[in-house]
Amino acid sequence: MNNFIFQNPAKIIFGKGSISVLSTEIPIDKKILVTFGGGSVKKNGVYDQVKEALKDHQYVEFWGIEPNPTVETLREAIKLAKNERCEMVLAVGGGSVIDGSKLIAAGALFEGDAWDLVRKPSLYKSSLPLATVLTLPATGSEMNQGAVISNKSTKEKFSFVSNFPLFSILDPEATFTLPPFQIACGLADTFVHVIEQYLTTTNQSLLMDRWAEGILQTIIEIAPKVQKNQYDYEAMATFMLSATMGLNGFIGMGVTQDWATHMIGHELTALNGLTHGHSLTIVLPGTMWVLRKEKGDKIIQYGKRVWGIEHPDKEVAVKLIIDKTENFFRSLGLKTRLSENGIGKATIDEIVRRFTERDLHIGENRSVDAMVTRQILEKVL
Amino acid sequence: MNNFIFQNPAKIIFGKGSISVLSTEIPIDKKILVTFGGGSVKKNGVYDQVKEALKDHQYVEFWGIEPNPTVETLREAIKLAKNERCEMVLAVGGGSVIDGSKLIAAGALFEGDAWDLVRKPSLYKSSLPLATVLTLPATGSEMNQGAVISNKSTKEKFSFVSNFPLFSILDPEATFTLPPFQIACGLADTFVHVIEQYLTTTNQSLLMDRWAEGILQTIIEIAPKVQKNQYDYEAMATFMLSATMGLNGFIGMGVTQDWATHMIGHELTALNGLTHGHSLTIVLPGTMWVLRKEKGDKIIQYGKRVWGIEHPDKEVAVKLIIDKTENFFRSLGLKTRLSENGIGKATIDEIVRRFTERDLHIGENRSVDAMVTRQILEKVL
């Protein structure tokens, strides 16, 4: 086990009816910038609940944070927060709205341009307090410090690390009317977040392994229930809790992480607009196959404990386990090949060009460079 | 899943060599009361490391917080903290030192008598900041708000809830020289903490079940390694992490809890001086057997997933699973019968008298009253 420091002060308020606590959780004298995505919260009742809870508060609304939030949009929100002298940000939406709001909360206290905050981490000093009402389980952003911000003009997508939300409200009923494709991507995203922290080398932490496997098993167990009936409160609550626990640091104590699949997936999203969770279901089988030498023992452990797959021939076992994983993604209704999404050699060449230019070496062992990335993407063409 | 609120802001600094961070984690201008137990930290090098780290700080030492810390001792420490105008408490020791220091930190800011703070929770307002250096994995006190305080004169033992430690330092090397009996009790204590939050009714939270089972599996896996060689860093680190994760709220989200075994065990400690972890290994098999009707389905799940035990006859399965659990405790070198510890009918009568007088109804379903407590204790006589 590696030495580590762990702290996560975010408060989680979980369960049906919990949006109403906004009225008391946010100090009455704080002027709030309330941020939204495209408007689905007006159809599922969340917007009305937020408005009712904040009826005695002073707030302004900012609408239109898009999936893969762009700095272009967020600059507008930052301008509004500054002009209105907002003292707090309340993000109401999924991971994109929350991610974007992290940059808004930081940008509101920053003199320069928001993209500089993303590209030069040392410029980040502080943020306005941020709270969230989560409507789409997937990214864990409601309980971590991270965000991913896109730049429309440069077609780039980068991580941004700021502060934990003060509190996040997770009401599973807010997820009942999500589009099934979003739910499928959320399940896949959660699954791969756990894989990134787990599918490394064995025997780093017996406990963290068990907890990661526990989330994977849980996602596999509830996926068919969620697909069958997304008004199933228990299943959606379990999905929501799993997504948060999958990326809040709880399964990352003292272990190495990988994230190569995510970094390659981000490029697919930036270049071809693939939904984030969907980009991962394509890349992961390729990553697992190409890195099967260095990840072999952990793939075997994963296959045995999570899927019950065993085979005396290790290479055969690995193949079976990757196929099982890929079939799970397909059972969610997602594609697992680039060509199925109209993505071909040109995109691969561009990603390889970018990774070469940035001289990237990613993954647990920094073994994934531009050439290995080409192998991964060609494997899943 | 029940609605819940979760927040745990304590910072964990984990790993070998981490005691030295005290020098920077504690502000240089804060006067500290450093609290200790009986002196084992002078033998294992922890005291020297703490002294070295605090060489530029102002502090006073308080020695002698005993196992099952008594309010009589803690009153002395509170007096010292007040007289010396200490602004922070640093607990260096196991769960007892940390528990006691929680009352010291609260008592230092309280006008009245410390026992009133324990008995009347509404009197508690605030505490001095508390930090800890953990030397004995077991209670989770380093990452939760709870404490258990004894009263020597009345032979009582009660819970006290105050604040989270600001930070806790967990260096597995500090555990290398612990007495094997303490380690055995720590393993048992961790195991039963998890059981109290898990062995209730099924299908409350699929994820919390997996995480609880994960800790139990991990404890079972490392127990023989720890017993064989307590200088095994990886095994001791896993034990230490498991103990903290077993009682910091991470496995308790949205689920009911039990704690009947603990409450009965506390009486055995208060009346007969049994070490806390040891009291649990005696009571738990009795609780499981007497409550096998209401806990049956969960016992079956526990047996199957944690021990791999299955049997078509449910009553037989339950018996096998309880025996397996009891044998695990015995494999740690601990006793599982009252009579083996010289405890007999007189103690049972006194506990039943106390529970009757306090009209207690404890456990998940409040079904454990004085009469059920008698059945439990007579089962493990």
pLDDT tens-digit map of A78-98: 999 999 999 999 999 999 999
Q: Side chain identity at A352, as an amino acid letter? A: V
**Within an 8 Å CB–CB cutoff, is residue B25 touching chain A?**
no
Could you tell me the two tokens for B112? 């009245």
- ipTM value for the complex: 0.96
Quick one: A187 exposed, middle or buried, by C-beta within 10 A (0-12, 13-18, 19+)? buried
**Whole-number Å distance between alpha carbons of A63 and A360:** 36
**Whole-number Å distance between alpha carbons of A377 and A282:** 9
The neighbour count for residue A26, using CB atoms within 10 Å, is 21
**Whole-number Å distance between alpha carbons of A173 and A177:** 8
Q: Is the pLDDT of residue A156 over 90?
A: no
- Minimal CA separation from B237 to chain A, in Å: 7
Domains and CATH numbers, chain B: 11-174 (3.40.50.1970), 180-379 (1.20.1090.10)
Task: Please tell me the least confidently modeled range out of A75-79, A152-156, B35-39.
Answer: A152-156
* A108 touches A83 (CB < 8 A): no
- Minimal CA separation from A41 to chain B, in Å: 22
**Within an 8 Å CB–CB cutoff, is residue A166 touching chain B?**
no
Mean pLDDT on A174-187: 95
pLDDT tens, B86-133?
A: 999 999 999 999 999 999 999 999 999 999 999 999 999 999 999 999
Q: What is the DSSP letter of A273?
A: -
Percent of chain A with pLDDT over 70: 100
**Within an 8 Å CB–CB cutoff, is residue A224 touching chain B?**
no
**Within an 8 Å CB–CB cutoff, is residue B8 touching chain A?**
yes
Bridge partner residues of A248 (DSSP) = none
* Cβ-based contacts under 8 A for chains A and B: 120
Mean pLDDT on B202-218: 98
**Within an 8 Å CB–CB cutoff, is residue B238 touching chain A?**
yes
Residue A157 pLDDT level (bands cut at 50, 70, 90)? confident
Bridge partner residues of A197 (DSSP) = none
Cβ neighbours for B221, distance < 8 A, ≥ 6 positions apart: A206
* B199 touches B299 (CB < 8 A): yes
Across chain B, what does the average pLDDT equal? 97
Quick one: A129 exposed, middle or buried, by C-beta within 10 A (0-12, 13-18, 19+)? middle
Cβ neighbours for A366, distance < 8 A, ≥ 6 positions apart: none
**Within an 8 Å CB–CB cutoff, is residue A316 touching chain B?**
no
Cβ neighbours for A381, distance < 8 A, ≥ 6 positions apart: A337, A338, A339, A344, A345, A348
Cβ neighbours for B119, distance < 8 A, ≥ 6 positions apart: B158
Cross-chain Cβ contact B254/A241 below 8 Å = yes
Q: If we measure between CA atoms, which residue out of B352, B348, B340, B357 comes closest to residue B378?
A: B348
On the CB side of A148, CA atoms within 13 Å amount to 19
Q: If we measure between CA atoms, which residue out of A376, A87, B108, B208 comes closest to residue B199?
A: B208
Token pair 């004894």: residue: B150
Q: Which residues of B touch A222 (CB under 8 A)?
A: 206
What is the widest separation between alpha-carbon atoms in chain B?
66
**Within an 8 Å CB–CB cutoff, is residue B17 touching chain A?**
yes
**Whole-number Å distance between alpha carbons of A332 and A189:** 12
Bridge partner residues of A161 (DSSP) = A146
What is the widest separation between alpha-carbon atoms in chain A?
66
Cross-chain Cβ contact A205/B241 below 8 Å = yes
Alpha-carbon Rg for chain A in angstroms: 20
Residue of B1, B241, B250 with shortest CB distance to A238: B1
Cα angle at A220 between A219 and A226, to 5 degrees? 70
pLDDT of residue A155: 86
Residue of B7, B13, B222 with shortest CB distance to A11: B7
* A107 touches A78 (CB < 8 A): yes
Secondary structure (3-state) at A150: strand
Q: What is the DSSP letter of A369?
A: -
Quick one: B151 exposed, middle or buried, by C-beta within 10 A (0-12, 13-18, 19+)? middle
**Whole-number Å distance between alpha carbons of B338 and B344:** 7
- The residue of chain A with its CA nearest to that of B169 is A5
Q: Is the pLDDT of residue A120 over 90?
A: yes
**Within an 8 Å CB–CB cutoff, is residue B11 touching chain A?**
yes
Residue of B1, B9, B12 with shortest CB distance to A5: B12
Residue of B4, B215, B242 with shortest CB distance to A14: B4
- The residue of chain B with its CA nearest to that of A12 is B6
Cβ neighbours for A188, distance < 8 A, ≥ 6 positions apart: A277, A278, A280, A281, A329, A332, A334
**Within an 8 Å CB–CB cutoff, is residue A145 touching chain B?**
no
**Within an 8 Å CB–CB cutoff, is residue B253 touching chain A?**
yes
**Whole-number Å distance between alpha carbons of A161 and A120:** 11
Secondary structure (3-state) at A79: helix
Interface test with B, best of A2, A190, A210, A226 (most B CBs within 10 A): A210
The neighbour count for residue B80, using CB atoms within 10 Å, is 17
Q: What is the DSSP letter of A19?
A: G
Residue B332 pLDDT level (bands cut at 50, 70, 90)? very high
- The residue of chain A with its CA nearest to that of B239 is A207
**Whole-number Å distance between alpha carbons of B196 and A259:** 36
Alpha-carbon Rg for chain B in angstroms: 20
Cα angle at B257 between B253 and B259, to 5 degrees? 140
Could you tell me the two tokens for A310? 């065993």
**Whole-number Å distance between alpha carbons of A66 and B254:** 32
**Whole-number Å distance between alpha carbons of A344 and B232:** 51
pLDDT tens, B126-155?
A: 999 999 999 999 999 999 999 999 999 998
Token pair 């609880």: residue: B212
First to last CA, chain A: 37
Residue B156 pLDDT level (bands cut at 50, 70, 90)? confident
**Whole-number Å distance between alpha carbons of B190 and B187:** 5
Could you tell me the two tokens for A138? 């997937």
Mean pLDDT on B50-58: 98
Pairing type for strands B130-134 and B88-93 reads parallel
Q: Side chain identity at A58, as an amino acid letter? A: Q
The neighbour count for residue A164, using CB atoms within 10 Å, is 22
- Minimal CA separation from A59 to chain B, in Å: 25
Residue of B210, B222, B234 with shortest CB distance to A214: B210
Cβ neighbours for A6, distance < 8 A, ≥ 6 positions apart: A249, A253, B11, B12, B14
Secondary structure (3-state) at A89: strand
Residue of B1, B11, B17 with shortest CB distance to A234: B1
pLDDT of residue A218: 98
**Whole-number Å distance between alpha carbons of B229 and A191:** 37
**Within an 8 Å CB–CB cutoff, is residue B10 touching chain A?**
yes
Pairing type for strands A88-93 and A130-134 reads parallel
* A219 touches A239 (CB < 8 A): yes
Cross-chain Cβ contact A254/B241 below 8 Å = yes
Q: Which residues of B touch A241 (CB under 8 A)?
A: 1, 205, 207, 253-254
**Whole-number Å distance between alpha carbons of B93 and B174:** 10
Q: Which residues of B touch A24 (CB under 8 A)?
A: none
- The residue of chain A with its CA nearest to that of B12 is A6
Interface test with B, best of A163, A171, A206, A221 (most B CBs within 10 A): A206
